[in-house]
Structure 1
Amino acid sequence: MNRRVDNTNSFKNKLQGVNKIGLLSRLGMCGKKSSKFFYIMSSIHIVIVIIQASGKLPVEFRAVTGIFEIGLSITLSYHFGYMGMFQSLITNGLASIRLYAISNQIRAVLASEAGHLTGNLRIIANSAPGLLVNLSAARIAVMIVSIMVAYSYEQERKYINKLEWLACVDGVTGAYNHRYFQTKLEEEINNARYRSSSLAMVMIDVDNFKKYNDTHGHIAGDRLLLKTAEIFMEEAREQDIVCRYGGDEFAILMPDIDSKGILSMIERIRKKFIGFLDTEEICLHKCGISISAGYSIYPKLARDKDDLIMQADSALYQAKNMGRNNVRIYRDVFEDIKTFFNSDERQLLGGLRALLGTVSAKDKYTLGHSERVMDYAVRIGKAMGLGSERLRLLKIAALLHDIGKVEISETILNKTEPLTSSEIKILRRHPMYSVDILEPLSSIEMLIDSIKYHHERFDGKGYPTGRKGKEIPLEARILCVADAFDAMLSDRPYRKGMKMNDVLSELRSNSGTQFDPETVKAFLNTFDTDFDSVSCVELN
Structure 2
Amino acid sequence: MKRIRTNRLKEINDIVTIVKLASLLFTAIIFFQYLLNGEEVLNNWVYRQLMLIAVGGILLFLLAMYLLWALSLEEKINKDKYRKVIFIENLVFIAIFFISVIISGGNESEYKYIFLFIITSSTIQLGLKSGIAVSLISSILILAMDIFCLTNSGGVNKFFQNDIILSGIFVLTAWPLGFYVKIEGEHINQLEGLVNKDGLTEVYNHRYFHDTLKEKVSLSGKYNENISLIFIDIDYFKHYNDLYGHQRGDEVLRTIGNILKKNIRSTDIAARYGGEEFALILPNTTEEQALLIADRIRSVIEKTKFYGEENQPSGVLTASMGVSVFPVKAKSDIELIKSADDALYRAKFFNKNRVETYTSILDDLKNDIDERDVELVTSIKTLISVINAKDRYTYGHSERVVLYSRLLAQKLNLSKEEEDTLIYGAYMHDIGKINIAQDVLMKKMPLLPEEWNMLKQHPENGVEIIKPVKSLQNMIPIILHHHEKYNGTGYPGSLKGEEIPYLARVLTVVDSFDAMTSNRPYNKRKTYEEAIIELRKFSGIQFDPIIAEKFIEVIEENKDRLDSLV
TM beyond 0.5: yes
The answer to whether residue 289 in structure 2 is matched with residue 264 in structure 1 is no
1:478, CA displacement in angstroms? Answer: 1.1
1:479, CA displacement in angstroms? Answer: 0.6
Q: 1:450 to 1:100 in 2, by over 3 A?
A: closer
1:402, CA displacement in angstroms? Answer: 1.6
Distance in 1, matches of 2:498 and 2:408, equals 17
Secondary structure at 2:105 match in 1: helix
Secondary structure at 1:297 match in 2: strand
Aligned partner of 1:75 in structure 2 is 118
Aligned partner of 1:481 in structure 2 is 509
Q: How does 1:3-402 map to 2 (within 5 A)?
A: 26-43=78-95, 61-63=105-107, 66-72=109-115, 75-76=118-119, 79=122, 80-91=130-141, 132=158, 135-159=159-183, 161-162=185-186, 165=189, 169=193, 170-173=196-199, 174-176=202-204, 177-178=208-209, 179-187=211-219, 193=225, 198-204=226-232, 229-243=257-271, 250-254=278-282, 255-256=285-286, 258=288, 260-265=291-296, 267-268=298-299, 271=302, 293-302=321-330, 306=332, 309-316=334-341, 319=344, 328-343=356-371, 345-346=373-374, 348-350=376-378, 352-402=380-430
Count of aligned pairs: 462
Distance in 2, matches of 1:93 and 1:181, equals 52
Secondary structure at 1:81 match in 2: helix
The question of whether the paired residues in 1 share the 8 Å contact of 2:216 and 2:227 is answered with no
The question of whether the paired residues in 1 share the 8 Å contact of 2:233 and 2:276 is answered with yes
Distance in 2, matches of 1:408 and 1:455, equals 17
The question of whether the paired residues in 1 share the 8 Å contact of 2:373 and 2:470 is answered with no
The question of whether the paired residues in 1 share the 8 Å contact of 2:342 and 2:399 is answered with no
Deviation sequence 1:228-280 (CA, Å, 0-9, x none): 6444323334442224568987542222551531441452476489x66859x
- Asked which structure has the greater RCO (Cα within 8 Å, sep 6+), the reply is 1
Secondary structure at 1:201 match in 2: strand
Q: 1:442 to 1:190 in 2, by over 3 A?
A: closer
Letter of the aligned partner of 2:508 in structure 1?
C
Q: How does 1:433-512 map to 2 (within 5 A)?
A: 433-438=461-466, 447-494=475-522, 497-498=525-526, 507=535, 511-512=539-540
Distance in 1, matches of 2:318 and 2:453, equals 39
Q: 1:342 to 1:74 in 2, by over 3 A?
A: closer
Distance in 1, matches of 2:395 and 2:336, equals 12
Q: 1:347 to 1:175 in 2, by over 3 A?
A: closer
The question of whether the paired residues in 2 share the 8 Å contact of 1:404 and 1:431 is answered with yes
Distance in 2, matches of 1:138 and 1:336, equals 80
401, 426, 430: which one pairs with 2:458? Answer: 430
The question of whether the paired residues in 1 share the 8 Å contact of 2:217 and 2:227 is answered with no
1:531, CA displacement in angstroms? Answer: 3.9
1:516, CA displacement in angstroms? Answer: 2.8
Distance in 2, matches of 1:246 and 1:62, equals 66
Letter of the aligned partner of 1:386 in structure 2?
L
Distance in 2, matches of 1:442 and 1:100, equals 94
1:341, CA displacement in angstroms? Answer: 3.3
Deviation sequence 1:193-243 (CA, Å, 0-9, x none): 3xxxx4311245689999x99xxxx99999997666444323334442224
Distance in 2, matches of 1:263 and 1:509, equals 45
Deviation sequence 1:402-439 (CA, Å, 0-9, x none): 22223333222111233356544443343344345555
Distance in 2, matches of 1:74 and 1:346, equals 64
Distance in 2, matches of 1:248 and 1:416, equals 29
1:520, CA displacement in angstroms? Answer: 3.6
1:401, CA displacement in angstroms? Answer: 1.7
1:505, CA displacement in angstroms? Answer: 6.3
The answer to whether residue 428 in structure 2 is matched with residue 403 in structure 1 is no
Secondary structure at 1:252 match in 2: strand
Q: 1:316 to 1:506 in 2, by over 3 A?
A: farther
Distance in 2, matches of 1:389 and 1:343, equals 19
Q: 1:290 to 1:415 in 2, by over 3 A?
A: farther
Of 372-381 and 469-478, deviating more is: 372-381
Secondary structure at 1:253 match in 2: strand
Aligned partner of 1:119 in structure 2 is none
- Look at both structures and tell me which one has the larger radius of gyration over its CA atoms: 1
Secondary structure at 2:503 match in 1: helix
Letter of the aligned partner of 1:456 in structure 2?
E
The question of whether the paired residues in 1 share the 8 Å contact of 2:348 and 2:564 is answered with no
Distance in 2, matches of 1:199 and 1:391, equals 34
Q: What RMSD in Å do the two structures reach over aligned CA positions?
A: 5.0
Distance in 2, matches of 1:312 and 1:207, equals 20
Distance in 2, matches of 1:219 and 1:149, equals 51
1:475, CA displacement in angstroms? Answer: 0.4
Q: 1:386 to 1:530 in 2, by over 3 A?
A: closer
Please give the TM-score of this superposition, normalised by the length of structure 2.
Answer: 0.64
Distance in 2, matches of 1:249 and 1:408, equals 33
Aligned partner of 1:519 in structure 2 is 547
Secondary structure at 1:515 match in 2: coil
Secondary structure at 2:325 match in 1: strand
Deviation sequence 1:16-58 (CA, Å, 0-9, x none): xxxxxxxxx8422421321211332454577789x7xxxxx9x
Distance in 2, matches of 1:499 and 1:262, equals 36
The question of whether the paired residues in 1 share the 8 Å contact of 2:432 and 2:461 is answered with yes
